Structure 1
Amino acid sequence: HEAQDKAGLAVAKSVKLALQGEFVPDAVNVQAGGLVAEEVRPLLPLAEKLGKVFTAVAGGVAAGVTIEVRGVPQDVSVLKLAATKGLFSAVVEEQVTYVNAPMLAADRGVEVELITAAEVEDHKNLVTLRGALPDGRVVSVSGSLVTHGDSDRLKLTEVDGFDLELDADGILLFFRYTDRPGVVGTIGTILGETGVNIGAMQVARREAGGEALMTLTVDSAVPADLLAEAASGIGATAASTVDLTDEF
């Protein structure tokens, strides 16, 4: 009976996902070109989250986005769907699904291209989204599935050309600014005064005193006015936030 119960629950979950237009792990996905390999499935949430980060950092939709997948020999066509879903999740009011994501991209003239490469340095696998904005600025974000003991962790490894290693989960804040002493303390004070707790922080810079990117994980959502206040307080040239709270 236990096996039947588990099978019944699995079927019910698959039906629910299908009705919602979501990816059904055990079903053939027509647009993905067939069954999705077991090794590729854990990369689905990574690709979707990278899409969300890309749109947040870009501040809008790019005219075209290239998804580059390295170190995964299996068919990764479905990752294009996942990334496209993430790209539009915060852009449109309607719910974005695996079914309507390609149509949303087509309606807005956004070209999404998938390219693959067999090898990758420093990572077992690597997914990168790269695209040009209307003003000519190029934005890129990268992430990897990293194995820690018996579990896999989704990691952000690069944002806008800055290298980092941070869990791709929870509520993230990004600040671009000129590197100088006291910035970390200022951000901590501004957020702390409003009850926002910082769970993790990383600062990436290319050189001392040069352009830097601060990435924070916080325990609660940061409204637009507080984000603007924090950005102004440190003289940030750009600030954004994205919610990557694990839904998967």
Structure 2
Amino acid sequence: MNRFKVLVLDPISEDGIKELLNHPNYEVDVNTGLSESEILEIVGDYHALIVRSQTTITEKIIQHARPLKVIARAGVGVDNIDIDAATKYGVIVINAPDGNTISATEHTLAMMLALTRQIPAAHKQLSEGVWNRKAYKGTEMYGKTLGIIGVGKIGFGVARRARSFGMKIVAFDPYLSDEKAREADIEKLEIDEIAKHADFLTVHTPLTPQTKGIVGKEFFNMAKPGLKIVNVARGGIIDEAALLEALDAGQIDGAALDVFESEPSTNQALLGHPQIVVTPHLGASTIEAQEKVAVSVSREIIDILENNVIIHAVNAPRMNENINEELRPYINIASHMGKVAIQLMNRPPSEVKLKYHGELALDDTSILTRSFVSNMLKPHLGENVNIINALYLLQEQGVTYKVEKQAQTHGYNNYLEVELVNSEETLTLGASVLNGYGERIVKINGFQVDIKPTKHLLFIKHIDRPGIIGEMGHTLGKYDINIATMQLGRRDEGGEAMLSLRLDQTVGAEALEELIKIEGFDQVKQVDLS
């Protein structure tokens, strides 16, 4: 029977790791507060490491731990672990994303109450011997509208608790279905509408390129007077400079922040502002949360080392060397299709269907499915999505998926088609790998195209008419954007058509706005595969 060694490098709840401590196959050593050099001296024969936020796991440490299979972060963030090095050496990095759900939810409500009743300022003045009741007149939460951006587990938890205060809930989340919103008594709104209607706003999204600064100058300019903002999610979702400007200009009433763009924060203008309540990233800092995350990573370490079952990996281990060589190019095209599909959709899908045709259908295509789904989810769920946790996260978002396999080839030796559906639209993409030419997207919503996925792509749905392509070329030329290749797909003369362009540069917002104004252009979508 295998025996595994586990090294705990940061203070962890002993109750949380008791499954490891009591397991006959595991030897657990707790050795905290070590420097890198001290860790290097002892780490050589450990199969798993457990850390929180204090210890940094470097490439040197990973190299020295010869039998190392798992690095576990008893929490959510993994900034203190060299993910690239772990992946390079085939080490799985896991975290515990669900363990702090209740703690973060409750801290959000605590921050809302502290902000609206000015508790920190009143406490400070009274503790200094000043009794000043008149200075602290709060507002009630009852009857107010709470806007929530990001309605995952924490966002839903906040919504349920806020309703007990008699609040109305409005929310935005690209994966929030109408049915789920109705069941939770949540009104779905776009972000600019939330700004106009919300008395309170709380954010609960990952920090991604799409969410960075999502609450910024434009949001504050539209905000309802008296708005109060809470962030217990990730620093950077709220633009701190714009927040200070909005507070000083009287556009909003106050903010409560547990997370910051840079931590530990040294922004004294922010930390000392009289209308801001701050805490030092305490969202997950409860006894219960720390025990839950320890239990979570302990159980998953056992599952990985004994059963090869992985749920919360934040990196993708190197692919099995035994993967069919003919399948490898389709992993690339499936990944690119995921990136293209989500950028062509106005909203994320509620249903996904993947169809494999030809010889491809005879292989194990699960790696292709996971590659597609992980790249489709990343823009909204962040870089923690990978081929290991993709289907788990897809299910968590309430998205159904189906895989079909057919011998029919559609004129190609192998053909992959994906169909994405939501309540407003359907998108179909077809792709193949052509001998001597590589991967190609060959179908978009019934239009036959032939486009090689490259960094900058532009797709234009339009009415086919004389001169329309010349107008497009003139506009792109005006902004110094060079066309590398162009494909035109159409069904009938003078009917609907699809332009697919490979470009050498990104199309800026001003150029995109000018393109969409061209007569006959119905939809202009830029896709970035960088």
Name the TM tier (shorter chain). Answer: 0.7 to 0.9
Deviation, 1:240, is 0.8
Letter of the structure 2 residue corresponding to residue 62 of structure 1? P
Residue 483 of structure 2 aligns with which residue?
A: 198
Q: Check whether the contact 1:173–1:241 (CA below 8 A) recurs between aligned residues.
A: yes
- Counterpart of 2:363 in 1: which secondary structure? coil
Q: SS of 1:196's equivalent?
A: coil
* Aligned counterpart in structure 2 of residue 162 of structure 1, from 433, 436, 447: 447
Partners in 1 of 2:404 and 2:318 — Cα distance? 24
Over the aligned positions, Cα root-mean-square deviation in angstroms equals 2.2
CA distance in 2, matches of 1:89, 1:69: 23
State the distance in 2 between where 1:124 and 1:208 align.
Answer: 30
Matched, 1:79 2:363: no
Length-normalised TM-score, structure 2: 0.40
The match for 2:331 is 44
Change in CA separation of 1:13 and 1:88 when aligned onto 2, cut-off 3 Å: closer
Larger RCO: Structure 1 or Structure 2 (Cα < 8 Å, ≥ 6 residues apart)?
1
How far apart, in 1, do the equivalents of 2:453 and 2:523 lie?
20
**Aligned counterpart, 1:142:** 430
What are the equivalent positions in structure 2 for 1:1-248 lying under 5 Å apart? Answer: 14-15=88-89, 21-22=315-316, 24-26=318-320, 36-71=323-358, 72=360, 73-135=362-424, 137-148=425-436, 153-245=438-530
CA distance in 1, matches of 2:378, 2:512: 20
Q: Which runs of 5+ in 2 are unaligned?
A: 1-84, 94-313
Note if contact 2:456-2:503 (Cα within 8 Å) is conserved in structure 1: yes
CA distance in 2, matches of 1:97, 1:46: 16
Q: Which string of whole-angstrom CA distances, capped at 9 and with x for unpartnered residues, describes residues 109-141 of structure 1? A: 111222111230311111100122212x32100
Larger Rg belongs to: 2
Structure 1: gaps (5+ residues): 1-10, 28-34
Cα drift, residue 44 of structure 1: 0.6
Aligned residues: 224
For the Cα contact (< 8 Å) 1:46–1:144, is it kept in 2? yes
Task: Give the Cα–Cα distance (whole angstroms) in 1 for the partners of residues 392 and 507 of structure 2.
Answer: 31
Give the structure-1-normalised TM-score.
Answer: 0.82
**Separation of aligned partners in 2, 1:53 and 1:159:** 11
Percent of residue pairs identical: 25
Note if contact 1:202-1:216 (Cα within 8 Å) is conserved in structure 2.
yes
- Structure 1 residues 16 and 200: alpha-carbon distance in aligned structure 2, compared to 1, 3 A threshold: farther
Whose helix fraction is larger, Structure 1's or Structure 2's? 2
Letter in 2 for 1:237: D
